[in-house]
Amino acid sequence: MYSFKNDYSEGAHPKILKALMETNLVQEEGYGEDHYSLKAVELIKGKIGQTDVDVHLLTGGTQTNLTAISAFLRPHEAAISASTGHILGHETGAIEATGHKVLSVESKDGKLTPAAVQAVLEGHPDEHMVKPKLVYISNSTEIGSIYQKEELQQLSDFCRQNQLILYMDGARLGSALCSKENDLLLSDLPLLLDAFYIGGTKNGALLGEALVICNESLKADFRYHIKQKGALLAKGRLLGIQFLELFRENLFFDLAGHANKMAEMLCDALKQAKVKFLTDSPSNQIFPIFPNKVIAALEKEYSFHVWEKIDEDHSAIRLVTSWATKEEEVAGFIEELKRWV
């Protein structure tokens, strides 16, 4: 049974494990004050081309989202998310548990537009409702789509004109930036966003996300928020060493590029077989639509998520490739599929 369920089924890239082993008995300061974490932070600042941002290393995506969003918002303020957004459907109400409502916007492609956000603002005009303040987006999105630079620029301009915080969930940012359809650079992000994070958990690290705060007004006392939310890791070196390896050379992008290449192999084969897709995804998540009997047959050899019911006889599944997906496993899935499609 081979899994295409997610991009965190495997442990970590061997270079990361090697670095963790080699530094294991070196004594270091705790809570992110170790020299590995400090070097990783400076390296990330160099990669994004900005030295006046704050970078904080946290362990996971949900933890990063709830710590950041709850810190950025006042008690009466709310976040806006696409209906497919991770904070809306897959984080056990973590944001709302901190006291902040998440306002849902229907979106066929998982992305938000200025017009969609404007409609939310018009629907919340006064103090009898929560005040929309933060716009939450993901890149890539939960259904595999990515933001083009012009789309993000328009959203950024709109948010600044309306005093809204623009925050990007980057759990799969590597896949988005390495997509053949992408025209964004990592260095573009601090110019367009108030805050974002660079996902390591889903791109070769054991765990870890690097939160980048760009807006000066959001920086104050942030380590207090991290500590209060139980996110200030005593052995912060564990995060620092991993991000140091991911960004020391080009490993972060190499791993994301491999995941995309494996997804592209799957996608090309499915298209040749005339399979239809739920979404147009140029990243490492693809959503083909199959007859339910084909899905049942494939589930005997492979694991994946059945994503959405299409009709009584068809469903969309989600196939996710990772930094460690083997080409022979993709080829095997394609051969198995040929038996049924």
Quick one: pLDDT at residue 316?
98
3-state secondary structure the chain: CEECCCCCCCCCCHHHHHHHHHCCCCCCCCCCCCHHHHHHHHHHHHHHCCCCCEEEEECCHHHHHHHHHHHHCCCCEEEEEECCCHHHHCCCCHHHHCCCCEEEECCCCCCCCHHHHHHHHHCCCCCCCCEEEEEEEECCCCCCCCCCHHHHHHHHHHHHHCCCEEEEECCCHHHHHCCCCCCCCHHHHHHHCCEEEEECCCCCCCCCEEEEECCHHHCCCHHHHHHHCCCCCCCCHHHHHHHHHHHHCCHHHHHHHHHHHHHHHHHHHHHHCCCCECCCCCCCEECEEEEHHHHHHHCCCEECEEEEECCCCEEEEEEECCCCCCHHHHHHHHHHHHCCC
CA quadruple 286, 289, 295, 298: dihedral positive or negative?
A: negative
Q: Does 129 lie in the same domain as 104?
A: yes
Q: Does 190 lie in the same domain as 100?
A: yes
210 lies in which domain range? 14-251
Quick one: pLDDT at residue 284?
98
The CATH number that applies at residue 272 is 3.90.1150.10
Q: Does 176 lie in the same domain as 116?
A: yes
Tell me the mean pLDDT in the region 37-47. 98
239 vs 63: CA distance, rounded Å = 14
Of 167, 142, 31, nearest to 82 by C-alpha is: 142
Q: Does 262 lie in the same domain as 141?
A: no
Residue 330 has pLDDT above 90, yes or no: yes
The CATH number that applies at residue 188 is 3.40.640.10
Quick one: pLDDT at residue 263?
98
Q: Express each pLDDT in 291-306 by its tens digit.
A: 999 999 999 999 999 9
Q: Does 267 lie in the same domain as 120?
A: no
Tell me the mean pLDDT in the region 127-144. 97
Give me the number of domains the chain comprises.
2
Tell me the mean pLDDT in the region 269-289. 96
Quick one: pLDDT at residue 341?
79
Quick one: pLDDT at residue 333?
96
Quick one: pLDDT at residue 250?
94
Tell me the mean pLDDT in the region 310-338. 96
- Identify whether the C-beta of residue 46 lies closer than 8 Å to the C-beta of residue 190: no
Q: Does 286 lie in the same domain as 150?
A: no
pLDDT averaged over the chain? 97
Last residue of a domain, one of 251, 284, 310: 251
Q: Does 204 lie in the same domain as 92?
A: yes
Q: Does 247 lie in the same domain as 257?
A: no
Last residue of a domain, one of 200, 217, 251: 251
Q: Does 305 lie in the same domain as 242?
A: no
Q: Does 203 lie in the same domain as 275?
A: no
Q: Express each pLDDT in 58-90 by its tens digit.
A: 999 999 999 999 999 999 999 999 999 999 988
134 vs 264: CA distance, rounded Å = 34
How large a percentage of the chain has pLDDT more than 90? Answer: 97
Q: How confident is the model at residue 147 (pLDDT cuts 50, 70, 90)?
A: very high
Q: Express each pLDDT in 213-240 by its tens digit.
A: 999 999 999 999 999 999 999 999 999 9
Q: Express each pLDDT in 164-219 by its tens digit.
A: 999 999 999 999 999 999 999 999 999 999 999 999 999 999 999 999 999 999 99
